[in-house]
Amino acid sequence: MKQEMTNRRLVALIAVALTAFADGADMLTEANSGVVKEVALETEFVVCGGGLSGVCAAISAARHGAKVVLLQDRPVLGGNASSEIRMGILGAHGDDNKEAGILEELQLKNFYYNPLMRYTLWDDVLLSAVREEPNVTLLLNTSVDGVEMAGGRITAVSAWNGNAYTRYTVKGRFFADCTGDGILRLSGAKFRRGRELPSEFGETCLQQGGDHRTMGNSILLQLRKTKEHHPFAPPPWAYKFTDEDFAKPDEPLPPKGTKRVNYRRLYPDDNNFWWIEYGGNLDTVGDANAIQEELKKIAYGVWAYMNNHPDGRAKGYDLDWIGALPGKRESTRFIGPHILTQQDVLSGGHFEDVVAYGGWTLDDHHPDAFHRKGRISVEYGCPSPFGIPFDCLYSVNVPNLMFAGRDISCTHMGLSATRVMGTCAALGQAVGTAAAMLVKYGIDPAQLRRERIAELQDTLEDDDCMLPYRWRKVSALTVAATCAEDVAVLRNGIDRKYGGKDNGVWVAPNETTMTYSWDVPQRLSGARLVFDSEMTHRGKRMRKLEATTERVEMPKMLAKAFRIDARICGKWKCVFSDNLNILRFRRVSFAPVEADALRLVVTETWGGSKTHVFAIDAF
């Protein structure tokens, strides 16, 4: 309520200001006006950081009833996935293990609203998703620079918006650090940065440690295909490279258990230039400006070397874009009740309090990065998926602080497998859902872990988040229904293809076979639906070539139009319909009815002869 009143006051002040200017009020001077505005907000959940983890945390908390303020220090959302950086959204390996939930929703909206897959439009797909949530107040260009404490708890953050010369104070009950760099360490929360000694946790994949070194930052290039060759003129401050700079030295065989080793790739085809990496021997936060400058020198030098090479390796390509900011892999990690280690990852993460999962490799980049002769990163295979527990997502010593993204509680090696953005998005949704429960029950994360972890897990699964080693519980009404034998798979709780099994039903438009019935009328008010959105489609995670005119298509087997019918007193009645569905997961509500049967009828697909449905739950 207080936040709503504050927001109304802001709108009123803006209206008054506009009226004053329109009416030709007195010119502003130092005598009658200030320079810096002071704005105070109060909310229930404060999310610091607007990358994918922060966006998913804010949306999930808001949808479950919490009032949220989301602070992002950049003009766009998305963090490493934004148009400013353009890192790929990677996640768990394996077609069965793609991340669903809010991330899949965002990617489907991007397919629909941004079929040319332009990064600048992707920024605004994320912006629209946040603005659609009435419970979220978004502050862009706003950097957190202070924390207020009372009784060991965070009570407020201060933040500065340099575009608007505005100082914000945002009070809250619960806080999430989704910045990746851990600005809420200002609270005194325990943290660590760097590489543990291999002996501390018995991490055999860690070759060296006991230091402050990290993985580096990368700046990306995007290329444009061209019919002609255009020599590239780099800026005079760019590095000048020769073949000798990229000669591979003889080096020992990679460590035992290595899945893959990675080197600098000096060819344009299918190359995302992640290896233009630097900063692991510095402070990736405190030395960010120096790292950015060095990466620009490297990047322009690399492209000049490739483009102007006499062997013609870059013939048919022009440099179309270079990153405005480097993308970070590693800086600071908070400490929670559990620190995720190499062993946790390799054993599959069988945690009682699992709330998310990873499935990337243990992908450890050498801190020397680009300037290292030889291999830059070493990858160790690990199970996909592996579970990540709630105990890694809240502070061990600041009771109302949670975190999601690459600053969760883990070792350096644990981070190497959890830092990719598909995993970070899943972590964000888990933290946001937990925050709404904290608000609802008036408890802290530690108490939620002790008393309500099962409810959190069930809620996440109901919101289309897969959790390893368990499946979603279907609703009691769904279990009690009678249905055709080939439709029964829709209530097995497995909302995706998995382990070689389809777990779905293929039906043609207007078929009425997806029907549940009961012996006596039931009070029905909604349905939970999961359609097949072809989650394995690689194109959802953006392109390496920006300037293409090839348009993406919505998944053909996805339902475009559907209706839900209820049988009331022996007659079928449409209780819900949608003629433009673009999502995999839908939870729809309708006016309560007394009915003895419910059916889903897909009336149109996005081009396929049949649609594919994974789940129907009645409630």
Please name the amino acid found at residue 514.
M
- Mapping DSSP to helix (H, G, I), strand (E, B) and coil, where does residue 549 land? coil
Taking residue 323's Cβ as centre, other Cβ atoms within 10 Å add up to 23
Please name the amino acid found at residue 199.
S
pLDDT in tens, 324-335: 899 999 999 999
Q: What is the pLDDT of residue 539?
A: 75
Q: Are 412 and 214 in contact (CB under 8 A)?
A: yes
361: phi then psi, degrees, rounded to nearest 5: -75, 165
Please name the amino acid found at residue 344.
D
Q: What is the pLDDT of residue 2?
A: 46
Tell me how far apart the alpha carbons of residues 414 and 405 are, in angstroms, rounded to a whole number. Answer: 12
Band (8; pLDDT cuts 50, 70, 90): low
> Is the pLDDT at 12 greater than 70, yes or no?
no
538 CB burial (10 A radius; 0-12, 13-18, 19+): exposed
pLDDT in tens, 468-525: 999 999 999 999 999 999 999 999 999 999 999 999 999 999 999 999 999 999 999 9
- Tokens 């497995």 label which residue? 494
> Is the pLDDT at 550 greater than 90, yes or no?
no
Q: Can you list the alpha helix ranges (DSSP code H) found in 114-221? A: 119-131, 198-201
Please name the amino acid found at residue 8.
R
Please name the amino acid found at residue 529.
L
Tell me how far apart the alpha carbons of residues 319 and 221 are, in angstroms, rounded to a whole number. Answer: 7
Q: At what angle do helices 52-63 and 101-113 cross, to 10 degrees?
A: 100
> Is the pLDDT at 1 greater than 50, yes or no?
no
Q: Identify the helix (H) or strand (E) that includes residue 13.
A: helix 2-22
Overall size of the chain counted in residues: 619
Q: How far is CA 352 from CA 233, 391, 449, 468, in A?
A: 57, 10, 10, 11
pLDDT in tens, 252-288: 888 888 999 999 999 998 888 999 999 999 999 999 9
Query: Strands 153-161, 142-150: parallel, antiparallel or unpaired by DSSP?
Result: antiparallel
The CA-based angle 352-98-133, given to 5 degrees, is 85
Of the chain, the percentage scoring pLDDT greater than 90 comes to: 90
How does 63-85 read in b/e, with b if 16+ C-beta sit within 10 Å? bbebbbbbbbbbebbbbbbbbbb
Q: Are 382 and 352 in contact (CB under 8 A)?
A: no
Task: Kindly report the CATH class assigned to 476-618.
Answer: mainly beta
pLDDT in tens, 65-98: 999 999 999 999 999 999 999 999 999 999 999 9
Please name the amino acid found at residue 186.
L
Q: Are 428 and 404 in contact (CB under 8 A)?
A: yes
**Tokens linked to 538:** 């690689």
User: DSSP label at 327?
Assistant: B
3-state percent breakdown (helix, strand, coil) of the chain, nearest 5: 25, 25, 45
**Tokens linked to 440:** 């609802």
Superfamily of domain 34-193+333-352+386-462: FAD/NAD(P)-binding domain (3.50.50.60)
Summarize the confidence of residues 451-458 as an average pLDDT. 98
DSSP line for 407-464: TSSB-HHHHHHH-SHHHHHHHHHHHHHHHHHHHHHT--HHHHHHHSHHHHHHHHHHTT
Q: What is the pLDDT of residue 5?
A: 46
How does 275-310 read in b/e, with b if 16+ C-beta sit within 10 Å? bbbbbbbbebbeebeebbebbbbbbbbbbbbbbebe
Torsion of the alpha carbons at 353, 355, 356 and 357, rounded to the nearest 10: 30
Taking residue 363's Cβ as centre, other Cβ atoms within 10 Å add up to 22
> Is the pLDDT at 199 greater than 90, yes or no?
yes
Domain extents in the chain: 34-193+333-352+386-462, 476-618
307: phi then psi, degrees, rounded to nearest 5: -65, -35
Cis amide bond preceding 385, omega within 30? yes
489 CB burial (10 A radius; 0-12, 13-18, 19+): middle
Q: Are 378 and 208 in contact (CB under 8 A)?
A: no
> Is the pLDDT at 22 greater than 90, yes or no?
no
Q: What is the pLDDT of residue 7?
A: 56
> Is the pLDDT at 193 greater than 70, yes or no?
yes
User: DSSP label at 285?
Assistant: T
Band (25; pLDDT cuts 50, 70, 90): confident
Tell me how far apart the alpha carbons of residues 62 and 463 are, in angstroms, rounded to a whole number. Answer: 13
> Is the pLDDT at 401 greater than 60, yes or no?
yes
Tell me how far apart the alpha carbons of residues 358 and 423 are, in angstroms, rounded to a whole number. Answer: 5
List beta partners, residue 209.
none
Tell me how far apart the alpha carbons of residues 523 and 598 are, in angstroms, rounded to a whole number. Answer: 11
User: DSSP label at 481?
Assistant: -
Band (139; pLDDT cuts 50, 70, 90): very high
Please name the amino acid found at residue 404.
A
Q: Can you list the alpha helix ranges (DSSP code H) found in 220-263? A: none
Query: Strands 45-48, 37-42: parallel, antiparallel or unpaired by DSSP?
Result: unpaired
Tell me how far apart the alpha carbons of residues 172 and 40 are, in angstroms, rounded to a whole number. Answer: 11
